[in-house]
Amino acid sequence: MADDPSMEHLRKEVEDWQNNDLNPALSKFGERANIFETKSQIPVKPLYTPLDTTGSDYLEEIGFPGRYPFTRGTYAEGYRTRTWFVRGLFGYGTAEETNQRMKFLIAQGATGLNIVFDAPTAWEGIDADNPLAMGEVGKNGVCLNTLQDMEDMFDGLAIDTLNVTWASCVGASYLPITAMYIAMAQKRGLDISSLNGAAINDVFSGYALHNCALPYTHPKDALKDWCDGVEHALLHMPNWFPCTIASYAMGEAGGPPDLQLAFTIAAAIDYTRALMARGIEPELIAPKYALFLSCGNNFLEEVAKYRALRRMWAKTFRETFGVRAKKGLQCRIHTQTSGLTLRAEQPLNNIVRAALQSLSAVFGGTNSLYTDPYDEVYALPTEESQRLALRTQQIIVEETGVADTIDPLGGSYYIESLTDRLEDNAWKIVARIDEMGGMLEAIQRRYFRSSIDDSYNRYLKAVEKGEKVIVGYNKYRHGEDLPIETFEVSEEIEEKQKWRLKEVKEKRDNKAVSRALDRIAEVSANGDNVMDDCIEAAKLYASHEEIIKAICRHRRSFTEEYRIMSSRF
Amino acid sequence: MRKDKIRVLLTKIGIDSHDLGIRNLALSLREGGMEVIYTGLRMPIESIPKVAIEEDVDVIGVSFLQGAHLALSPLLVKELKEAGVGDIPVIVGGIIPQKDIPKLKEKGIREVFLPGARFEEIATYIKSLVELNR
């Protein structure tokens, strides 16, 4: 390619244009910024031409949607048959409040539901009556303590046709939550193979960012719990995607796109190896992954991120694991727009930010999308702001035409070049993680945490100096913002939930519960899969915390170690 | 005796693990010449007075992004009083509804910083507090 005579001619023409047209104009007017670069610090040139894409062979590196290496899309049909899943995301209060809001979202056109659990449930694995849960019950998600909560939450909803995602449940907390869902299905007489859903249960992301995920477990134990849940689903639930890798959290913590890509790939490699150690074939594992991305505000870099990710994913599973089936090489991507970019000042500007981020995820070819409501910077969203977020996606689908042709930005000299550069950067980081000895090692050396700190701190400083602009914050300010109407979770929710839990604990057969819990503890200590025993305990209305404590009964607590690790910055 | 540097104890209590803001505040205050002690996540409230005394801090800052501010702030104030260091001012920041500010101040929280507050603004406030107290 390099000695292609037409390219040589083009090179001369580009030089001529630069010297005689561009440079004089730039020096006459002066550039409006000292540095033009993406969030991954890739320098951005004033213009891209075919010279910037000559390195890549169309069929090998770009190809067709639905064909290796999937750069242009996961599926051949793109959005021509149906669009991405327009997701509603919710969870607050007790199961009853969440049930009502879920019905509202379905009525507004949501085709999938992401359920958020409160921090005690998702991150700590504790019930509402644990003193540590004080002030947090039902605040930022729904509180789920027993099968009773699960039954009330899905009351009147046909779970065999619903697509649900546990938006947050890390390590061991995935097990009781999913066990309760399965127990509910079985009580309704459903075959669990009919359950559709996914779980964002990425233990690596929890540890990488917060140095903790269920703080009383070691990362190795968390990985064991993760394997138990995934293995069970692989064997019994064909429509369940139990392993979502969440680079979302990496993005939301301020990590740049190249780091998000590398995290995803390195995590996929280690998760796959952990399952292979249980004798599960990569061919079986690969099609079960789902990816969860955050879409930030560097519009074109975000588009390139999706394209690079699909290509890296396909290469990894074909080259590293020898996967042959197409399903195993296609990655399924769920996106949430970036809450980190939302601002408290001039909050209505957030509607525009979320719309642009949604649009770039669509240009990137996301398979599922949740648009952040503009008021999330203040509180949980109101019904009105949630409706507006759904409408944002509906306007993109119905009115703009961008979903009518597949990968409409493919072939742009800049997009293709940026896709290549991002991929190169990310492979280098993957290699570095590999040199360290994999994810667990990289996490223990605080590799992700310090990479993010460096990058986000650089960004904050640039904002403080005014080199980077946040509209309405360090430029284009106007007087006081008018207060917006915000949603509030009543402080009484905590008491209500404690009362609900107390009632369940009084009614159930406590002897049978404690036998079931002993059994879990024993199976866990033997290193065997605890999922079946968790389902049995869930049916007896054993609580979330009780099940997790049983799983961890013979493990050493790491709470204090993690606190100390998290204090370093 | 006058200390040279202002000493700040930053902490996260309860189970909220959103620490991007407080860690960056810590860096910023440190770069601005203050001595910053950050406890990390999930600091037991009852251990805070001891650290505050040992580290001889001028002010304590707590961040809340998950809504536990009303439940947990009073507990911290109470622990400090019981340990005889109720005079160390406690400031709070994070995702906090405007209307909770008076409730927090009533419970003994000296000042509240909402989303959008600048690090500079917080640093200036801390300096003024310390000058008042020393």
Q: Which residues of B touch A564 (CB under 8 A)?
A: 40
CB-nearest to B116 from A136, A344, A569 is A344
| Residue at A8 is within a domain | no
Q: Evaluate whether ipTM surpasses 0.90.
A: no
Boundary-marking domain end, from A446, A476, A506: A476
Question: Counting Cβ atoms within 10 Å, is residue A482 exposed (0-12), middle (13-18) or buried (19+)?
Answer: exposed
Query: In terms of CA atoms, which chain B residue is nearest residue A214?
Result: B15
CB-nearest to B16 from A119, A562, A563 is A119
Q: In this complex, do B71 and A254 lie within 8 Å of one another by their Cβ atoms?
A: no
Q: Which of A24, A26, A27 is nearest to A46 (CA)?
A: A26
Q: Does residue A400 share a domain with residue A333?
A: yes
Q: Is A68 on the interface with B (CB under 8 A)?
A: no
Q: In this complex, do B17 and A457 lie within 8 Å of one another by their Cβ atoms?
A: no
Which pLDDT score is estimated for A208? Answer: 73
Q: Does residue A127 share a domain with residue A88?
A: yes
Mind listing the pLDDT tens digit for each residue in A100-114? 988 888 888 777 788
Q: In this complex, do A567 and B69 lie within 8 Å of one another by their Cβ atoms?
A: no
| Residue at A182 is within a domain | yes
Mean pLDDT calculated for residue range A216-232: 89
Mean pLDDT calculated for residue range A109-128: 87
| Residue at A456 is within a domain | yes
Q: In this complex, do B67 and A565 lie within 8 Å of one another by their Cβ atoms?
A: no
| Residue at A340 is within a domain | yes
Q: Is A210 on the interface with B (CB under 8 A)?
A: yes
Which pLDDT score is estimated for A567? Answer: 82
CB-nearest to B67 from A140, A345, A377 is A140
Which secondary-structure segment (H or E) carries B23?
A: helix B20-31
Q: Which of A247, A273, A252 is nearest to A262 (CA)?
A: A247
| Residue at A224 is within a domain | no
Q: Does residue A458 share a domain with residue A330?
A: yes
Q: Is A123 on the interface with B (CB under 8 A)?
A: yes
Q: Residues of chain A with pLDDT > 90: what percent?
A: 69
Helix axes A531-539, A510-525, angle to 10 degrees: 170
Residues in chain B whose Cβ is within 8 Å of chain A: 14-17, 19-20, 23-24, 26-28, 38-43, 66-72, 95, 97-98, 114-116, 118-120
Please report, for the domain that includes residue A327, its CATH number: 3.20.20.240
Boundary-marking domain end, from A415, A447, A476: A476
Mean pLDDT score of chain A, rounded to an integer?
Answer: 91
Range from A51-60, A478-487, B3-12 that averages highest in pLDDT: B3-12
Boundary-marking domain end, from A429, A446, A476: A476
Query: In terms of CA atoms, which chain B residue is nearest residue A481?
Result: B116
Which pLDDT score is estimated for A23? Answer: 97
Residue A69: is the preceding peptide bond cis (ω within 30°)?
Answer: yes
Quote the minimal CA–CA distance from B92 to chain A in Å. 15
Q: Does residue A160 share a domain with residue A268?
A: no
Quote the minimal CA–CA distance from B17 to chain A in Å. 7
Mind listing the pLDDT tens digit for each residue in B79-124? 999 999 999 999 999 988 888 999 999 999 999 999 878 899 999 9
Q: Does residue A376 share a domain with residue A341?
A: yes
Q: In this complex, do A569 and B27 lie within 8 Å of one another by their Cβ atoms?
A: yes
| Residue at A235 is within a domain | no
Which pLDDT score is estimated for A211? Answer: 55
Work out how many domains chain A is built from and give that number.
2
Q: At residue A3, does pLDDT exceed 70?
A: no
Query: In terms of CA atoms, which chain B residue is nearest residue A568?
Result: B40
Q: Which residues of B touch A133 (CB under 8 A)?
A: 15
Mind listing the pLDDT tens digit for each residue in A359-378? 999 999 999 999 999 988 87
What residue has token string 């970036």?
A338
Q: Does residue A389 share a domain with residue A469?
A: yes
Would strands A196-199 and A163-166 be described as parallel, antiparallel, or unpaired? parallel
Q: At residue A404, does pLDDT exceed 50?
A: yes
Q: Which of A310, A315, A301 is nearest to A367 (CA)?
A: A310
A95 lies in which domain range? 81-200+207-218+493-569
Quote the minimal CA–CA distance from A216 to chain B in Å. 12
Mean pLDDT calculated for residue range A438-462: 87
Those residues whose C-beta lies under 8 Å from the C-beta of residue A119, and which sit 6 or more positions away, are A136, A139, A140, A141, B15, B16, B17, B66
| Residue at A17 is within a domain | no
pLDDT band of A457, cuts 50, 70, 90: confident
Mind listing the pLDDT tens digit for each residue in A320-361? 999 999 999 999 999 999 998 998 889 999 999 999 999 999
Which pLDDT score is estimated for A394? Answer: 95
Q: Does residue A274 share a domain with residue A131?
A: no
Tally C-beta pairs within 8 A across A and B: 99
Please answer whether residues A374 and A342 qualify as being in contact, where contact means their C-beta atoms are separated by less than 8 angstroms.
yes
pTM: predicted TM-score of the whole model, two decimal places: 0.91
Query: In terms of CA atoms, which chain B residue is nearest residue A124?
Result: B15
- Tell me the residue type at A384: E
- Range B7-129 classified under CATH 3.40.50.280: yes
Q: Is A132 on the interface with B (CB under 8 A)?
A: yes
Q: Is A485 on the interface with B (CB under 8 A)?
A: no
Q: Is A212 on the interface with B (CB under 8 A)?
A: yes
